[in-house]
Structure 1
Amino acid sequence: MIEYILMITTIGGAIIALMQKDLLKAAILTGIPGASLAFLYQYLMAPDVALTQAIVGSAIVPVFIALAVKKTRRVVESKESGESGGK
């Protein structure tokens, strides 16, 4: 029963992340499916896979995506302000 709840949480978290308009929120919400998969792997008696999924899927990947969004957002904002300032 718990495995079905974790699978639904994984799918629901991915859908919620996809529906976000704000890219930074979406990047942070990508950690939900990773965390629920880590719990699912732990429940299925695979602690090594669960630990790897917890570190990579719910910590490293969302942080890298959030950093990429922040870096590209600054470039876009500076280009837009440069174009409007020249008129």
Structure 2
Amino acid sequence: MHPQLAEDADFRRRFAREVAAARRVNGAFTASVVDADADASPPWLATAYVPGVPLGEAVAEQGPWPVRAVLALGAGLVEALNGVP
């Protein structure tokens, strides 16, 4: 976390709420929270590693995706968002 943000009490409270929410979300299309400490100096959050290529890089290398791949990506996003409390 950027040092200036770590000193901002409002940001730290939001970060703590985000950590709590992230711990409740799990599914095939989300990175699970391994551990976190919102009260540490600096606060931190660690998630499971999800192998893959960043979306921007994949599109830059492969060009526009076929409709079927875009629909699969959209379905994964919907499933991930359904897991958000």
Structures share a fold, TM > 0.5?
no
More helix by share: 1
TM, length-normalised to structure 2? 0.32
Quick one: higher RCO (CA 8 Å, sep 6+), 1 or 2? 2
TM, length-normalised to structure 1? 0.31
More strand by share: 2
